Amino acid sequence: MKEKFVKYETLLLETDGHLLTVTMNRPEAGNALNTQMLTEMVDFFGNIYVDPGTTRCVILTGAGDRIFCAGGDLKERKGMTDEAWRRQHALSEQLIRHIRDCPVPIVAAVNGAAFGGGCELVLGADFAYGADTAKFALTEVTLGIIPGTGGTQNLPRAVGLRRAKEIALTGLPFTAAQALDWGVLNKVCSLSALPEEAKAIAQRICDNAPVAIRQAKKSLNAASDLDFSSGYRFELEAYYRTIPTKDRLEGVLAFNEKRKARFTGE
């Protein structure tokens, strides 16, 4: 996997077995999403969608200890024509679709401020752990636009419609503790403990059966889009895909032999 992505200039990639950590690496600009970073993230997640290889889980984080991602790069956007803005935003649209459709789970490790598009990346991940110093906001309405990277769809799914309206219509920031209470974060820990906490939960995912993880993720995503009857039919289709796998046999055998299962993704 590492050799496949050596061309990236704004992303740092680190593999540890089946775990791949992606670090947005523009700390001097608050890890803001400029055209280059968006292009590289679209390429990365597009490649993962086509062929995750041996990767079973992705951690998404930001460089430094203050900012996860400050959102769109407003310095680059200053003076942008309407056409250039639309072309750049098309990358954001592709990115959030790739993230949602990513076959392997994505865990956000929020090491600092996640504003605008940065907050939308957190909401787009499968779930998120955050440092107690992290802050969040959807600030788009203060800039004359609205969230456009899935924010108006993913936020109410996480926090409920009325809370989402308060967040999106005011643009006011909220704390890590509030993010945990409202459902944006799954866990809050110290900044120093965050990398290991995120790695531990991601490694737990990596240790489980890869086909089962992918099928479960697809079925869970469908739950927010479908009524129960349709969603359950989707679940059963996903379930029956796991039955002929070698990992299903290995899981049952390991349970009966009282040992840890050794899953291969077959």
- Catalytic positions are 120, 140
Extended beta strands in 143-255, E state: 174-175, 187-189
8 A C-beta contact, residue 78 and residue 42: no
What number of CA atoms fall less than 13 Å from residue 17's CA on the CB side? 11
CA distance 34 to 73: 5
8 A C-beta contact, residue 83 and residue 44: no
For the CA atoms of 116, 195, 15, 150, what is the dihedral angle to 10 degrees?
A: -20
Token pair 């407003």: residue: 74
Closest by CA to 103, choosing from 230, 221, 12, is 221
Amino acid at 47: N
Q: Please tell me whether residue 101 adopts helix, strand or coil conformation.
A: helix
CA distance 251 to 148: 42
